[in-house]
Structure 1
Amino acid sequence: MTREHYIPFNKEFLLDQQIAAFAEDQKKADDFKKLFDIIEHYYHYEAFNLNRNLKQNYALFDPDLSEKEREGFVGKSDFSIFKETLLKVLDHGNYRRVEQEALDKAFKDSDLIGLKLSIDLNAFKEYELYVRGHHKAKEKITKHIFWKKEIEIEYYDRVMIYLNYNEADYLKKKKVKLGKMPVDPGSIVLKIFKRVPKNDLETIFPNAIPRMSTTDKLLLWIPGVFGGVSLLSAKVIPALINMYDAYQTGEAIDILNSKTSLNQGLIALGILSAYCFRQYNNFVNKKIRYSKMLSDSLYFKNLGNNSGAFYSLLNSSEEEVLKETILAYTFLHESKIPLTAEEIDDQIESWFKTKLNTNLDFDVKDALLKLKNIGLGIETNTKWEVIPLDKALIKIDKLWDEAFDYNQKNFPVSKNHK
């Protein structure tokens, strides 16, 4: 599996793991908790501002708003700012973009349903998928009528799909039908799902339509057409012709043999029809499985839609930022000498490997930049260190207070309520 920046442990667990280093000094452990409590509040405040920015610049493209509501945001919503902010949030949350090659492979392959889906990509100006976290699990799939095979499926823990729909004129020109989808041309759809099979990514597209694969068509039509023509020409039609000719001419025929031949032909045709029905029924069953997978995705796996997706994204973004800050500060604090970025990276990744049996690619550059931005990290000649814990508390408390300077004239904030 590909190593990711995503840290698959919650912030409370990681904080407890780092506090263990101060087990013999209760005051230092308490100060450490206070430091990251204030940092967490500060990052939450930043997330609040990002959410406000996203909602403001997304409103004009939000399909959940009425046309009249969207008109109020003409000149106020800026697509470029929205997209830039969205990508920033995704990056902070350690989401990564699925490349087109991987998407094409997912469109071609299918692990769970074995069904070919048709997606009219002309509906979209842009379509992008972003994923975070992955795992493997054993699943049983039906290969033939009664035979089930256990295979290993790779899942993405989180998937966000971004769909920027084309304008109405373009959709009309390309004869794109949106069907029953309640989406207006020119709008932008965002959806977040959990536990999506890597090779079934196409199932989360809202305009995916089940089609018979080439194999399904061959299994249905070749036996049906060639078998049917062969049986009709060899058994049924000759028997009927003989019986009709005899009726016309009044000649005697071997009724028993003619009926036997006709019955045999009709029985064979019945068997062939049953085979064709079974093949078609297999396709119908796949469609039913697809419909169930779709309903499960919408009901059980969907974590947010459109502007509602921002909360899920920002929550994960805020938590990833905090976890990286906790780790970078602690490892630098415990080091007796300044460290290079590579040395910090190696130490943290090695700790995850040996302590938590987890192989990840820690985003050390981002973590150090965060420490520097909040005034806790210092870089000197490519080597990094952090200010002592007592000074860090004063620094971060001042940073938190200054974040609300603009409020203090009209809405004083007591330190007891921070």
Structure 2
Amino acid sequence: MAEESRNREAFIPYRRSDIIKLCLDDDRLNAAETQKFKDFCEILSSYYHFRFHKTLEIIKDNYVPFNPNADVEALVPPSFEKYDEMESTVVDGFEHILERANYIRLPEYDIKQSLGQTSLIDLRTEVDFDEFDKVVCYYRGDSYKTITQKKFFFWKKERRIDIFERIVLLIKFKEAAYFGAKKEQTKELKFIPGKMYLYFYKNIPKLDIDLLFPNVTTSMTWKDRLLFGVPAIGAAIPLILKALPNILLLVAAILFALNAQPLVEQLEVEENQARNIMPVLVATLSLGMALGGFAFKQYSNYKSKRIKFQKDVTETLFFKNLGNNDSVFQTFIDLAEEEECKEIILVYYHLLTSNNSLKPEELDARIEAWMQKKVGTTINFDINGPLDNLANIRGKLITNDVSEENTPEIPLLEYDNQGFCNVLPLNDAKKVIDYVWDNAFNYNGISL
């Protein structure tokens, strides 16, 4: 790989623990504040772990009738209305966590654009999008690599390949009735109608996205067809010339049977040979064996070519696969939780340590510049998400002189009249999140 480039995205390519360490390495917090900040990050992370775990359980419960690998089943099959509702819950919930994980939606138009084009795997592909009820595709890491490919013996050529560093695909197939109407045998399909498939891959060339679909069909390109067809024609010509006497004898026999003797004379075939059944039979068998053997050889060559194509596809996808079906949900819950917490920690830290008040756009620019200075990473920080999260975390600061019922709830973040952002100090922020955490369940009678 000679060159690599990445477009700016909201994804933060460091672990949450690394982000916390970068904040503490600023030395803007004293020893007491450092411990309080660690405590704040710990309880914040626990709170979001709980929230995302709840989202995961909802998705898993609703995914059961769509899971092609399910080893459990519902006690009562869902009604048609409930079935549609469960499908929407899975898709909407998955899109939610994908966006929280800072993945970007890829329009279906861009997916279809890859059809008929080749990247690393020289194939002609087709995908029937009419077989899908739902297609959802997200990616992260829009970059490119410059690779060196071998071309014709010792000649090498450098080529730029645009890739998605991570790509996730959700597909919901239509029901069995649709495929039955097409006269297709369900047992011969590579998928189960009515089921929902999820695929998670790394480093997939943009023009090879179509290879991720389980219903993709492949065939040789025009170049491969020429390389296959021209030698076949070349091998067929001497075979035909060698078999020409037998071919003429068969034609003469047919013409005699049709009483077309004048045409037989033009072929210069002896009449007694054309009327004798044994020479005709020998010629027929000889011609059939020659042509049959040639056809079988060419068909075997074609099958070998297709097997090589399928091997290239299988090896490419096998080593780039990161997860399938229900395991993908768990993976992205962890990614979404990690991204959400990193963003909130960065926003809270910079507002807490800033010497002057900041508006959202100023805070966004400061965090981006800070990341560039600290680790040399250019990101397009998503400021609105973490600001909304901090503003929506509301709790109570319980004191001895005021009862809990009379204590109002306050958010971790508020805006003043001029649009500046203000966060609670560390002690109060910890108490607010602790209150929310303590009241995550309402069994104690407290209504949140």
Q: Same fold (TM over 0.5)?
A: yes
Counterpart in 1 of 2:401? none
Q: Which residue of 2 aligns with 1:254?
A: none
- Name which of structure 1's ranges 48-57 and 81-90 shifts more when overlaid on structure 2: 81-90
Over 3 Å counting, the alpha-carbon distance change for 1:223 and 1:24 in structure 2 is: same
Aligned to 2:127: 119
* C-alpha distance in structure 1 between counterparts of 2:155 and 2:307, whole Å: 18
1:370 partnered with 2:389: yes
Which deviates the most, 74-83 or 285-294?
74-83
Deviation at 1:147, TM superposition (A): 4.5
Map 1:6-405 to 2 at 5 A: 6-22=11-27, 25-65=30-70, 69=74, 71-74=76-79, 75=82, 78-144=86-152, 147-176=155-184, 180=188, 183-221=191-229, 224-225=232-233, 227=234, 284-297=307-320, 301-306=321-326, 308-374=327-393, 375-380=411-416, 381-405=418-442
| Residues 142-195 of structure 1: per-residue CA shift (max 9 Å, x gap) | 433554544343432322111111011112223456655564322211222233
**Structure 2: which amino acid aligns with 1:372?**
A
Please say if residues 115 and 286 of structure 1, whose CA atoms lie closer than 8 Å, have aligned partners that are also in contact: yes
Structure 2 CA distance for partners of 1:345 and 1:175, relative to 1, 3 Å: farther
* Distance verdict in 2 for CA 1:184–1:113, change over 3 Å: closer
Counterpart of 1:56, as a letter, is D
Distance 1:158 1:312 in 2: 12
Provide the secondary structure at the position in 1 that maps to 2:26. helix
Structure 2 segments unaligned to the other structure (5+ residues): 1-5, 249-266, 272-295, 394-410
Shift of 1:17: 0.4
Deviates more, 1:335-344 or 1:183-192: 183-192
- Normalization by structure 1: what TM-score? 0.79
8 Å contact 1:136–1:155 — kept in the other structure? yes
Moved more, 67-76 or 193-202: 67-76
Bigger mean CA offset, 181-190 vs 320-329: 181-190
Deviation at 1:133, TM superposition (A): 2.6
Counterpart CA distance in 2 for 1:25 and 1:287 is 61
Q: CA deviation at 1:303?
A: 2.2
Give the C-alpha shift of residue 397 in structure 1: 1.4
CA distance, structure 2, for counterparts of residue 206 and residue 65 of structure 1: 18
Q: 1:118 Cα shift? A: 2.5
Per-residue deviation, residues 61-104 of structure 1 (Å, max 9, x unmatched): 22223695474455486222222222211111111111223212
Q: What percentage of aligned pairs have identical amino acids?
A: 26
Q: 2:7–2:141: 8 Å Cα contact kept in structure 1?
A: no
Q: Which amino acid aligns with 1:290?
A: V
d(CA) in 2 for partners of 1:13 and 1:219?
Answer: 54
Figure out how many residues of one structure are paired with residues of the other and give that number. Answer: 382
In 2: Cα distance, 1:155 partner to 1:13 partner:
27
Q: Output the aligned Cα RMSD.
A: 3.6
- What is the distance in 2 between the residues matched to 1:237 and 1:180? 41
Cα gap change, 1:136 to 1:177, in 2 (>3 Å): farther
- Partner of 1:21: helix, strand, or coil? coil
Distance of 2:184 and 2:353 partners within structure 1: 60
C-alpha distance in structure 2 between counterparts of 1:275 and 1:241, whole Å: 21
Cα distance between partner residues in 1 of 2:158 and 2:188? 36
> Counterpart of 2:334 in 1: which secondary structure?
helix
Q: 2: CA distance between counterparts of 1:140 and 1:279?
A: 28
Residues 71, 222 of structure 1: alpha-carbon distance in 2 compared, 3 angstrom cutoff: farther
After superposition, give the CA deviation of every residue in 1:346-366 in whole Å (9 maximum; x if it has no partner): 111222233322222111011
Alignment check: 8 A CA contact 2:190 2:214 kept: no
Read off the aligned partner of 2:211 and give its amino acid letter: T
